[in-house]
Amino acid sequence: MSAKHMRYGNHADCEPLHYTACGLDDVYLLSGYELHETPYGNGVSVTDVDGLHRAIGLHLARDKKVLNGKEIRFLRKQMDLTQAELAELLGVTSQTVARWEKGEFETQAPSELMIRLLYLDCLKLLPETVRQFIKSLVRKDEVQDTRQLFEETAEGWQPRAAA
């Protein structure tokens, strides 16, 4: 096989492979893949697809300034969440998540930040579980007191549950 058909190293003389199987438009591979013939035409085998998708996700979560709809969908799928499950964690409707993913309207900065944090939490790269914290906040919103009570203690001001 020629260098155009087999890439395991970093060969500057070969064109990068446009990798669309992840659902994103702008991902190119410099190495780690092999082109081969199949009964249906040309095929591509990627070594360690899970590792590649993790690297793509980390790049999106840590380095990408603004996420587009396809990138939000990619991160959601990598977290193995449905649109409804992500919507619940973000405090929006599943229709809102669907519209973000279709590119019909942009996410708000807090929601985008939460998607990034949820992804990093899913990879266990955060010290405490963000998902559990968010779920506890969602449950707290369901039973909301009308007054917030605080009292001064030896440890300083503390919230106190309403009686």
What CA–CA distance (Å, rounded) separates 109 from 102?
17
Residue 145 has pLDDT above 60, yes or no: no
Bigger pLDDT: 144 vs 90: 90
Q: How confident is the model at residue 105 (pLDDT cuts 50, 70, 90)?
A: very high
What's the predicted TM-score (pTM) here?
Answer: 0.75
Sign of CA dihedral 7, 10, 12, 18: positive
Residue 159 confidence (pLDDT): 73
Bigger pLDDT: 58 vs 156: 58
DSSP 156: E
Tell me the two tokens of residue 158.
């503390």
Residue 2 confidence (pLDDT): 40
Domains detected in the chain:
1-47 (no CATH), 50-135 (1.10.260.40)
Query: How many residues in the chain?
Result: 163
pLDDT in tens, 65-99: 899 999 999 999 999 999 999 999 999 999 999 99
Cα within 13 Å of Cα(111), Cβ side: 21
Cα within 13 Å of Cα(116), Cβ side: 18
DSSP 109-135: HHHHHHHHHHHHHHTT-SSS-HHHHHH
Average pLDDT taken over every residue of the chain:
83
